[in-house]
Amino acid sequence: MFALGCIQAQHCHTGHCPTGVTTQDPVRQRALVVPDKAERVFNFHQMTLKALKELVQAAGLEHPGEITPHHIMRRSDDDRVATMAQLMRLRLHTGDLLKPDLSALPFVYQHLWPLARAESFTLPK
């Protein structure tokens, strides 16, 4: 959104976006020069991919799919450092989510996994 010119005016829902990024108003839309913005968005995306590549390589990995909670570090307020795996304790083994009884799994999987649907991102009613 920044690459498009968003200034986070927080008026997206009002139709009065000052930069024309989210407006339906044809006059305000003229502020969004698509050819200029397209190049900026492309460059931003390329730099994001480059930064991801550098992070993956710095971790000694070959693909972002190899990143696990063990690779992500978090510093707490009291200056302690721990991996996300240590903080979350979300240890799963192959096939854990396929079992009919999820009671032995961490809380988040016990309660949220049954709500997941491959065909939709919306919550079931």
Q: What is the pLDDT of residues 1-40, one digit of tens each?
A: 888 888 999 888 887 788 888 888 888 888 888 888 899 9
**Does residue 107 lie in a domain region?**
no
As for how many domains the chain has, the answer is: 1
Structural domain containing residue 76? 12-87
**Does residue 99 lie in a domain region?**
no
Residue 59 to residue 55: CA distance in whole angstroms: 6
Q: Looking at 39-43, 88-92, 107-111, 118-122, which range is the least confident one?
A: 88-92
Look over the chain and give the mean of its residue pLDDT values, rounded to a whole number: 85
What is the pTM for the complete model shown? 0.57
Residues with Cβ within 8 Å of residue 21, at least 6 apart in sequence: 1, 4, 5, 6, 12, 32
**Does residue 117 lie in a domain region?**
no
